[in-house]
A = this chain, B = another copy of it.
Amino acid sequence: MIEEIKIRRSIRKYLNRPVEDEKIIQLVESARLAPSGSNTQPWHFIIVKSELIKQKLAKVSHNQQWMISAPVFIVCVADIRCRIAKNVDILIKEDSPQEELKQIIRDTSISISYMLLEANSLGLGTCWVGWFIQEEIRPILNIPSDKYVVGIITLGYANEAPETRPRKKLEEIVHYESW
């Protein structure tokens, strides 16, 4: 398992080669099986192949043009309605304070993590893009204002083999019995 983790890289250059639909479904299937707080499963996944929509998404992601080379985007959305009743009005923004928002971001992040490792084991490259504003991204995909886009995953066959990026040393992040 740790070998899969070690070889995973964020990929920002993709081959001009489509991704098989059955592989895309297997990715979402691995995300579907993830654990979540009280088994609430707040996650939704929007599969995007349209060039026009991909361009719009790249544009609101600070115009990261490298994204376009990925044949597929998977837009990962967290739904707060698994924790807050439908009759309560909510407009979610980057600085919204709700604890429930933190919980659904946590849980959707677990499912995306699973998806990325699964992609790796299927020979696919991914990059988790998180640099956008909710109010710019939601209209492109008709996402309601009570949802939160946790990430856009670019997906395809890698056309680069990046080096490992540095990590903190183990002793910088491990504590025993107390902070």
Contact = CB atoms under 8 A, between A and B. Distances in A.
B175 A47 contact: yes
A94 B116 CA distance: 28
A58 to B, nearest CB: 15
A1 B121 contact: yes
A31 to B, nearest CB: 8
Contacts of A6: 33
A113 interface: yes
B150 A106 contact: yes
Nearest to A9: B35
Interface stretch (A48-56, A63-71, A83-91): A48-56
Contact of A176 (B46, B98, B107, B174): B46
Contacts of A157: none
A118 B4 CA distance: 10
Given A46-B178, A47-B177, 18 more contacts: A2-B29, A2-B121, A5-B33, A5-B118, A8-B35, A25-B170, A35-B128, A45-B175, A47-B176, A53-B177, A95-B97, A95-B98, A106-B106, A106-B109, A109-B110, A110-B113, A143-B179, A144-B179
Interface of A: 1-2, 4-6, 8, 10, 25-26, 28-30, 32-35, 37, 39, 41, 43-50, 53, 77, 94-99, 101-103, 105-107, 109-110, 112-114, 116-118, 120-122, 128, 130-131, 141-144, 147, 150-151, 165-168, 170, 173-179
